[in-house]
Copies of this chain bind each other. A is one copy, B any other.
Amino acid sequence: MISSDIMRGYNDIILLSLLLNQASYGYELSRQIRERTEGLYSIKETTLYSAFERLLRNGYIVSFFGEESFGKRRTYYRITPEGRAYYFEKCEEWELTKTVISQFVINQRGK
């Protein structure tokens, strides 16, 4: 498992990336993260929902209620154009971060 101090700062990008193609809701997104990383990272519920709050506050996502006739009513999230822009910005920052950190990290298994 990857420590959360390392993931801090990436949760927003991860969520936005999953919302790029379709709107979704908390539980589903959390499951997708666990699956895509093959269990290496699973976001905590509180972390997840506080990330939604932050993204909403910044206008990177909007929320709406689902209309399912069964189960508890879900809150869905949709990415906004601002959210997309922010996501692509952060992707570039990630490329930069990789080169910066690699300067200080020894890769034991060779290049």
A residues in contact (CB < 8 Å) with B: 2-3, 5-10, 13-14, 17-18, 36-37, 40-41, 88, 90-98, 100-101, 103-109
Contacts and interface: CB of A to CB of B under 8 A. Distances in A.
B2 A97 contact: yes
B93 A6 contact: yes
A6 to B, nearest CB: 4
Given A17-B105, A91-B105, A103-B36, A96 B9 contact: no
A105 B37 CA distance: 13
Pairs A-B, 10 closest by C-beta atoms = A5-B9, A17-B104, A6-B9, A14-B104, A91-B105, A37-B100, A94-B105, A91-B106, A40-B100, A36-B103
